[in-house]
Structure 1
Amino acid sequence: MKLVCSQIELNTALQLVSRAVATRPSHPVLANVLLTADAGTGKLSLTGFDLNLGIQTSLSASIESSGAITVPSKLFGEIISKLSSESSITLSTDDSSEQVNLKSKSGNYQVRAMSADDFPDLPMVENGAFLKVNANSFAVSLKSTLFASSTDEAKQILTGVNLCFEGNSLKSAATDGHRLAVLDLQNVIASETNPEINNLSEKLEVTLPSRSLRELERFLSGCKSDSEISCFYDQGQFVFISSGQIITTRTLDGNYPNYNQLIPDQFSNQLVLDKKYFIAALERIAVLAEQHNNVVKISTNKELQILNISADAQDLGSGSESIPIKYDSEDIQIAFNSRYLLEGLKIIETNTILLKFNAPTTPAIFTPNDETNFVYLVMPVQIRS
């Protein structure tokens, strides 16, 4: 294998695929990146794959001879990143294919390599379901829910986001057992009547690992707003393809909780809040709340139409703030984890938000004050007298 390529493009590609390289590989080759040069297409393909998440991308190169080899992701990436961006890189392998030779304006390097034959094939879906989804809408669905997924591996199904594709809609949901974020978007999936871009005859529901979806979200953020991403699903494997890049991930096993049952049908109390004021007050109060248990108390004053927000950090100090609200029910006090509140509120894009609840011990709902279909449920913290 011998080729010449841009240092900048190679470095960018390596940074992308290295996020799918195993940090604790079960086999030495899984710590490597697969390089595949194709003289016919003039493309150098790079692949990282830890057996759960796979990322593949390609770049244009002047290829003298085709071939494939794997190189240590960390070492190879660090060398490439420090080479001069003012000159191209010549990459070649010796006859034994046990090392990769690099030549640039900065100097010459040799890196030990491993055979491409040892690298596992990136899973591809040949049958099963396929559909095309608007990239921008998909990115919004992930941004609105990923933050609420669990980091507790003991609750593996909750470490992912539940995605439900049906008709032309996408409903995404994530929960860690203490909070729940749900977004229901319409007109996300390309025409359901065109079998060339959508073969779904009924709804498709899958739960995908948050780690994989964060990489997808990062990729989608760079896509044009009107672009589409192709999705393929079969036998526990989900593949996303767009603009020459491939992200493949395993699905999470198990049944996702029926989260719709957690959302109350009716509420006896409703507040209208200014999001900017509420977040600013919470961030100041959270400085104290974080010193103890992250708990902030909020209490209504119907007569003055204000909301009091307070925190007590035991021996360290306490604080309180007040913001204007619209409220016409009985006064009530309720407590929340300040971090949970801030993470969810920052997702909402409207200037005003609604807070709905029934009692200090039952689920509370935050929603935008418009017709959008985003719901953020937070379980209150029980206040001990």
Structure 2
Amino acid sequence: MKLQVEQAELADAARWIARHIPNKAAEPTDLAVLLTAADDTLTVAYSSLEVSASVTVEANVIDGGKAAASGKIFADILGALPQVQVEISGSENGIDLVAGLNDFHLNPLDAYSYPSLPVMPALSGSVAGDVFATAVANVAPAVDYAIAAMPELGGIRLQPAGDRLQLMATDRYRVALQYIPWQQTGDAVSALLPGQGLVDIAKTAGATDVVELALTAGSAGVQAGNRTSVSRLLPVDKFPNADRAFPKEYTGTATCDVEQLRDAIRRVGLLLEGHQAIELSIQPDHMVVQALRNTKATGKARIECRLDGVDSFDIAFNPRFLLDGLAPIDGDVAIDLTTYAKPALVHAAVDEPTFQYLVIPVRDPAKAAAA
């Protein structure tokens, strides 16, 4: 194998592939990338039992072939090279990279024992690249990667709903839901994709016009430009039935400028320590944001607000959780309320919001004792 390729494009491809590679593995090939040169292109790929990813870049291929190298080292070296043409030669003795006055040699790995890359499943439909990237970013804060006993909480559910695609994530303390328009072109099922992998590919999807999705019962695939990711599915039947968590009715709704509310939470948040909560004390024409149960300092921020349905309402939240739900919203935000102890729904103050964020409040012990 021998070829020439531009450093910037290949370094970007290798860096994206390296995000899919674990830090440790039992076998060196489990940490390797496969380089395949053919037809004036170079494909950089990684495959495991969990996910496969590949990127194809243009190259001046002198001799076709394939070679394997340590993925993270390959990405690190390419990222450190100057922005000049890189010459890559691969053989049974390893891989040589030459860029200007820089040359590196990577020890050989058996490219022919590298696991076969899974085929992209049949396409189910497509969405606009920037819309898909934004939607994944909006629901990603509710993904929980830490609970090993419940890996399904580390996923993002994609569920076809007519001409819309629903994305949902939950960590049991909040539910983030986003609807986006999509064009269905084939069979599609509800699929639970590993959240981290979907977030990684979505970060670059915004630069492409169209993202093509394959949502099948066996695996899911995402094609964004020259980047392809095929992942195993998490058990969608074990995903919490978060749809039922949304209340059917609300006793009141608070409406205010979202930027004013975000600023007030950040200011008062300076007083918080550890797991202390932020309290919203809502009146018909204003809202007071204050720290709940802070014994070292006090502070309040008052903003304009309209409260409909009830005369007053007090409720407390984890400030980071609340800010995550406010982040995707512009203009006025509406917070639908039931009781101080039941979930509140955060969304843009419009008739049919496409982004909805259900968050469980922090219960004030004093109110709980009085209840």
The alignment's TM-score, normalised by the length of structure 1, stands at 0.89
Other-structure match for 1:354:
334
* Superposition deviation, residue 80 in structure 1: 2.1
Other-structure match for 2:222:
240
Give the AA of the match of 1:144. N
Identity of aligned residues (%): 22
Alignment CA distance shift 1:344-1:177 (3 Å): same
* Deviation string, structure 1 residues 291-345 (Cα, Å, up to 9, x no partner): 132301111233xx21111115644322211111112422221111111000110
Match of 2:199 among 210, 214, 230: 214
Within 5 Å, which residues of 2 pair with 1:128-167?
130-151=124-145, 152-167=147-162
Give the AA of the match of 1:346. A
Q: Within the alignment, does 1:366 sit opposite 2:346 as a pair?
A: yes
* Superposition deviation, residue 49 in structure 1: 2.6
Given that 2:46 and 2:54 are in contact with CA atoms closer than 8 Å, whether structure 1 keeps it comes out as yes
Provide the alpha-carbon RMSD of the alignment: 1.8
> Counterparts of 2:102 and 2:356 in 1: how far apart (Å)?
56
Other-structure match for 1:33:
33
Give the AA of the match of 2:73. L
> Counterparts of 2:300 and 2:153 in 1: how far apart (Å)?
34
Other-structure match for 2:182:
189
Other-structure match for 1:60:
58
Q: Within the alignment, does 1:7 sit opposite 2:2 as a pair?
A: no
Alignment CA distance shift 1:309-1:126 (3 Å): closer
Other-structure match for 2:46:
48
Alignment CA distance shift 1:358-1:81 (3 Å): closer
> Counterparts of 1:184 and 1:7 in 2: how far apart (Å)?
38
* Superposition deviation, residue 283 in structure 1: 0.6
Aligned positions, number: 362
Give the AA of the match of 1:78. D
Give the AA of the match of 2:316. A
> Counterparts of 2:318 and 2:307 in 1: how far apart (Å)?
22
Give the gaps of 5 or more residues in structure 1: 193-197
Give the AA of the match of 2:111. A
Given that 1:208 and 1:249 are in contact with CA atoms closer than 8 Å, whether structure 2 keeps it comes out as yes
> Counterparts of 1:362 and 1:126 in 2: how far apart (Å)?
41
Match of 2:303 among 304, 315, 323: 323
Within 5 Å, which residues of 2 pair with 1:109-120?
109-120=104-115
Given that 1:4 and 1:91 are in contact with CA atoms closer than 8 Å, whether structure 2 keeps it comes out as yes
* Superposition deviation, residue 71 in structure 1: 0.7
Give the gaps of 5 or more residues in structure 2: 367-371
The alignment's TM-score, normalised by the length of structure 2, stands at 0.92
* Deviation string, structure 1 residues 52-110 (Cα, Å, up to 9, x no partner): 1222111121111111111112222222222222x32221124xx13112222123322
Give the AA of the match of 1:104. A
Given that 2:317 and 2:361 are in contact with CA atoms closer than 8 Å, whether structure 1 keeps it comes out as yes
> Counterparts of 2:15 and 2:149 in 1: how far apart (Å)?
30
Give the AA of the match of 2:317. F
Show structure 1 runs of 4+ deviating over 6 A: none
> Counterparts of 1:292 and 1:74 in 2: how far apart (Å)?
36
> Counterparts of 1:184 and 1:126 in 2: how far apart (Å)?
23
* Superposition deviation, residue 235 in structure 1: 4.2
